[in-house]
Structure 1
Amino acid sequence: MSKERTQSGQPRQAEGVRAFKRGLDVLHEVNRSGGIRAGDIARQLDLPRPTVYRLLETLEELGYVARSASDDRFRVTRRALSLGDGYDPSVFICQVAAPYLAELSKNLVWPVDLSTYENAAMVIQETTHARSPLSIDRGMIGKRLPMLRTSAGRAYLAACAPIERDVIINHLRRIDEADDRPFLEPDRLSRILTETSRRGYAIRDEGEYNPKTSSIAVPIVRGEVVFGCISIIWIRSAMTLDDAVAQYAAPLRETAAAIPVEV
């Protein structure tokens, strides 16, 4: 009995194994990258773009990957947790928050970032920089932001549980970066965190970190768990801090409260 063959002349079983392997390779690349576009996967794996798009569509239909609403990158979903230890919990907040950031960006023309805490820094996981006509920096996904010199870091520190805050600050003292030292002075640090907690949002407006820009950030908090922070960044010369707060603080806080995350 002859084996059934495909139009390419290969046995149908072998063709199926090949397609399955390609699908796993694509899934592995998405998981490894933390977030990647289809075209980049095609280049990394040396596969035709139509093949990659078809495989990603299948993986998305099966619930293993999801396309970001803000930058067209694919990321693994919670369902991928069962496939191994490579699942990153921050992926979940990206998936649920991305549509809210996209909606927010329609009203706030300046770029908006979603960042999560990772090893003494805030890491940008989602952003509307690519969509904002006012962005001066497009390559933001994966960028690490210092805790003490950015609004996102300050918002996170002010909102997290005291025990976690102490651990992070002690870690920053051990790292001992020169730029952080002025902000680690007890009186200054206490004032920043107290004012941030009182306002419900953090600010960066003294030329620290990036002298050309300012920012406001609000935490995404449920109970004592801080899932991440939403920040808006603008060029300092284009708008005063008071005007930015008047326009942006409330929408940022409303969006942070609306994102459907649970402890």
Structure 2
Amino acid sequence: MSSYEPIAALLRGLEVLKVLNEGGPQAIGDLYRVTGIAKPTLVRIVETLQHAGYVNAGNADRRYAVTPRVLSLANGYEEQRWLLEVTGPLLDELRSLAGWPVELGVFDTDAMVILNTSRQPGYLSVNRKPGSRVPLFKTALGRAYLGALPEQESDALMAKLAVRPEDEFEAARSPRNFRRLLEVIREQGYSTADRETLTNGRAIAVAIVVNDRPVASVNLVAHASAMSMDELEDTWGPKIVLLGQRIEDALRNS
């Protein structure tokens, strides 16, 4: 437990920066609808972020956006940099072969965070950028990560998140059912999600495990109209498993 009460103004500023980073250019009215922060306070926040160089001045429509300077906030995260450097070429290789988006995500507290995604989504746009947070229990990325955790740790995480009221944590409130799903994932070596967070997308994913610990997950997302879940598993299941093994070998040897 921290020694002091958190600084409310700083928390609001970080929330606005997060919303702009994930949602793209937005006007004050847009930020108000998402955050609920009073508009005069939002103006002071974006002008402060602008002064610090993290937000631009807005265009003619006064839509504010993050600047490239936000990238410097991640410079100290060596593990993420290491993952991106090692996995990038292998992810691009599968993207070229499949023609579908391929994503790399890492666990953060209560969600998976996208580190790398297709630069050109093509036929299927999943509208997820690096830094986007996606649900832990409803996505193939999250399920693959949970399936690679020791059972005691996945149980503890479910118990911790079961008290959260949001719909995305509903599975944590039915741990027996979710444990059965994790058993299936461990047995088959990959996880799936069928239009649960992407209304037009099906996904298949594997965990990246190094030294017996999951460090990330990688998925492939296909348009639901292009193939059934059975076709996705039959066609891309072996390839995503192989990709996971190649990434693990590359990480161990890097």
* Range that drifts further, 227-236 or 134-143: 134-143
Unaligned runs of 5+ in 1: 1-32, 34-42, 47-73, 81-85
Partner residue, 2:205: 217
Instruction: Describe the SS at the equivalent of 1:97.
Output: helix
Cα deviation for residue 44 of structure 1 reads 5.7
CA distance 1:153–1:139, shift in 2 (3 Å)? closer
1:230 aligns with 2:222: no
Q: Distance in 2 between matches of 1:93 and 1:75?
A: 16
TM-score (norm. length: structure 2)? 0.66
The separation in 2 between residues aligned to 1:216 and 1:45, in whole angstroms, is 36
Q: How far did 1:174 drift?
A: 2.7
Specify which of 115, 119, 124 is matched with residue 135 of structure 1.
124
Q: How far apart are residue 241 of structure 1 and its match? A: 0.6
State the SS of the aligned residue for 1:203: strand
Number of equivalent positions: 186
SS at structure 2 position matched to 1:134: coil
Matched, 1:150 2:172: no
Distance (Å, rounded) in 2 between the aligned partners of 1:98 and 1:226: 18
1:5 match: none
Q: 2:108 corresponds to which residue?
A: 118
Aligned-partner Cα distance in 1 for 2:78–2:156:
21
* 1:189 alignment partner in structure 2: 178
Task: Map 1:20-169; keep pairs closer than 5 Å.
Answer: 86-128=76-118, 130-169=119-158
Q: Distance in 2 between matches of 1:222 and 1:179?
A: 28
Distance 1:184 1:237, change over 3 A: farther
- What's the CA shift for 1:202? 0.2
Corresponding residue SS for 2:112: strand
Question: CA RMSD of the aligned region, Å?
Answer: 2.6
Q: TM-score, normalised by structure 1?
A: 0.63
Larger Rg: 1
Q: Hey, what's the Cα distance between the residues in 2 that align with 1:190 and 1:162?
A: 9
Partner of 2:239: 251
CA offsets 1:85-135 (integer angstroms, 9 cap, x no match): x3342221111101100111111111000001111111000011x223223
1:175 Cα deviation after fit = 2.1
Query: Which position in structure 1 is the counterpart of 2:7?
Result: none
Q: Are 2:207 and 2:217, in contact at CA under 8 Å, matched by a contact in 1?
A: yes
Q: What SS does the aligned partner of 1:174 have?
A: coil
Tell whether 2:163 aligns with 1:177. Answer: no
Amino acid at match of 1:253: V
Aligned-residue identity in percent: 25
1:176 Cα deviation from its structure 2 partner: 3.2
Cα contact 1:75–1:91 (8 A) shared by 2: no
Q: Which residue of 2 aligns with 1:239?
A: 227
Deviation at 1:140, TM superposition (A): 1.9
Amino acid of the residue matched to residue 212 of structure 2?
E
Aligned residue for 1:216, secondary structure, equals strand
Letter in 2 for 1:254: L
Structure 2 unaligned blocks of 5 or more: 1-20, 22-52, 57-69
> Matches of 1:222 and 1:230 in 2, distance apart?
14
Quote the offset at 1:247 in angstroms.
1.2
- Deviation track 1:161-212 (CA, whole Å, cap 9, x = no partner) reads 234323321221132323432463133111210111111000112x322222
Query: 1:199, 1:235 → 2: CA distance?
Result: 22
Indicate conservation of the 8 Å contact 1:220/1:226, yes or no: yes
